[in-house]
Amino acid sequence: GKSGYAHFMHKEIHEQPESLRRTIQGRVNSLTGTVALDEFPTDAFADVEQVHLVAMGTSHHAAMYAATLLAARGIPAYAFMAGEYSLARPPVTDRTLVVAVSQSGETADTLDAVRRARSAGARTLALTNVVASSLTRECDDTLLIRAGPEIGVAATKTFTSQVTALVLLCERIVADATGASSRESRDLLESLSRLPGDVQAVLDTSTAEAVARAYAGSDAYFFIGRGIAHSVALEGALKFKEISYEHAEGFAASELKHGPLALVTEQTPVFVVFSGRHDEMTLNNAKEVQARGAPVVAVTSRTDGEIAELADHVLSIPETHPDLAGVAANVQLQLVAYHAANLLGRPIDKPRNLAKCVTVE
Ligand code: F6R
């Protein structure tokens, strides 16, 4: 049942401290500050030369997030929409790891991408929520995200668990490929252990309902960010449009001036996602939209005067490692989408035209 929540989506949003704890459980060795993923033997990823992440929808945004992290640590990594990957057929070798990210493990485009990559000689890994799904049967290896069943059509707790499991996988790939555990890695894993508590803090203090109320009836809703915050902005917009039916778009903050800025008016609130990396550049983008009269909603851990001056509203997240800030920021945007849809009386758990699992291409 919904345990007192009006919608499964709201319940699942609130389950995230627990689902994230399960995702992490037993997978970090806090003594050595290293990732312990018993699914894979020692040095399983030592010979990986590049990583292709394939996925659709929300899972694609988790894939983008991970590609950004891996590339920043020196591993060539690219995220593809699975449906496009099958057509583009980027070259692979037996040293290419293809990671298929799928909550259900049954998405047709994602299964097709994996089949093609595998027959071309790539090594494949399923990152999924569903034990014994088609994807786990098609792939060489599996990493379960352990988010628990998700009933709402809109993916929420499975996105945060995907990102968290991908952070663990990235750390393991980097450790195997470089043969060393780094200081960087220890800092990240230490912050990771605090992530369930950080998400609880967001749930306890979020002003997302007031923000949704303040901007109800706007012409459109825009979401911007750079680096990992770009994928979080895209995910914020996807969630918003799919359950509220309002026009919502996510952009790379760097792309704004190359076209999307033409859409920005006083009637288009812009959600600006900060991660703690490249924040000064993103602040400048926020000033650009503010100069066009758009309300600015900052999603950030910053509390300084510059943010206060710029933002009409702040959705606060706890201070954490910049590679993880996107998880707490995403939870704020889940809540904004939920409350916006709820104010409009939408059928939140079953949005029109959408299915939980897309088994045709
Ligand atoms: C959005 C949503 C969809 C799915 C997509 C992939 O809330 O749920 O965009 O993320 O259909 O599904 P999976 O992850 O099952 O492959």
Q: Is the CB of 134 under 6 A from ligand 1?
A: no
Which of 8, 101, 104 maximizes ligand 1 atoms within 8 Å of its Cβ, making it the mutation to test the pocket?
Answer: 104
Task: Name the residues annotated as catalytic.
Answer: 356
Structure pTM?
0.98
- If residue 184 lies in a helix (H) or strand (E), which one and from where to where? helix 183-205
Please count the other Cβ atoms lying within 10 Å of the Cβ belonging to residue 260.
Answer: 18
pLDDT of the residue at 129? 98
Which of 12, 231, 358 maximizes ligand 1 atoms within 8 Å of its Cβ, making it the mutation to test the pocket?
Answer: 358
Spatial distance between the Cα atoms of 340 and 348, rounded to a whole number of angstroms: 10
pLDDT of the residue at 25? 97
Spatial distance between the Cα atoms of 231 and 65, rounded to a whole number of angstroms: 6
Q: Is the CB of 107 under 6 A from ligand 1?
A: yes
Question: For residue 19, what are its two tokens?
Answer: 């689902």
Question: For residue 316, what are its two tokens?
Answer: 């606060």
Ligand 1 mean position, distance from CA 257 (Å): 30
- Of 40, 300, 21, 65, the closest CA to residue 167 belongs to 65
Please count the other Cβ atoms lying within 10 Å of the Cβ belonging to residue 290.
Answer: 18
Are 277 and 322 within 8 A, CB to CB?
A: yes
Which of 59, 111, 139, 163 maximizes ligand 1 atoms within 8 Å of its Cβ, making it the mutation to test the pocket?
Answer: 59
Ligand 1 mean position, distance from CA 274 (Å): 24
Spatial distance between the Cα atoms of 202 and 326, rounded to a whole number of angstroms: 12
Which amino acid residue places its CA nearest to atom 4 of ligand 1?
A: 57
Q: Is the CB of 56 under 6 A from ligand 1?
A: yes
pLDDT in single tens digits along all 361 residues of the chain: 899 999 999 999 999 999 999 999 999 987 788 899 999 999 999 999 999 999 999 999 999 999 999 999 999 999 999 999 989 999 999 999 999 999 999 999 999 999 999 999 999 999 999 999 999 999 999 999 999 999 999 999 999 999 999 999 999 999 999 877 778 889 999 999 999 999 999 999 999 999 999 999 999 999 999 999 999 999 999 999 999 999 999 999 999 999 999 999 999 999 999 999 999 999 999 999 999 999 999 999 999 999 999 999 999 999 999 999 999 999 999 999 999 999 999 999 999 999 898 998 8
Count helices and strands in the chain by DSSP H and E runs = 13, 12
* 10 dihedral zone (left: phi>0; alpha: psi -120 to 50; beta): alpha
Q: Is the CB of 242 under 6 A from ligand 1?
A: yes
Ligand 1 mean position, distance from CA 293 (Å): 34
Question: For residue 207, what are its two tokens?
Answer: 């002003």
Q: Is the CB of 196 under 6 A from ligand 1?
A: no
Residues 6+ apart with CB under 8 A from 3: 11
- If residue 64 lies in a helix (H) or strand (E), which one and from where to where? helix 57-72
Per residue, the 3-state secondary structure of 190-230, as one string, reads HHHHHHHHHHHHHHHHCCHHHHHHHCCCCCCEEEEECCHHH
Measured distance between the N- and C-terminal CA atoms of the chain, rounded to whole angstroms = 32
pLDDT of the residue at 312? 98
Atom of ligand 1 nearest to the CA of 153: 8
pLDDT of the residue at 99? 98
Ligand 1 mean position, distance from CA 55 (Å): 8
Spatial distance between the Cα atoms of 107 and 215, rounded to a whole number of angstroms: 34
Are 176 and 46 within 8 A, CB to CB?
A: yes
Q: Is the CB of 58 under 6 A from ligand 1?
A: yes
- Of 175, 24, 246, the closest CA to residue 183 belongs to 175
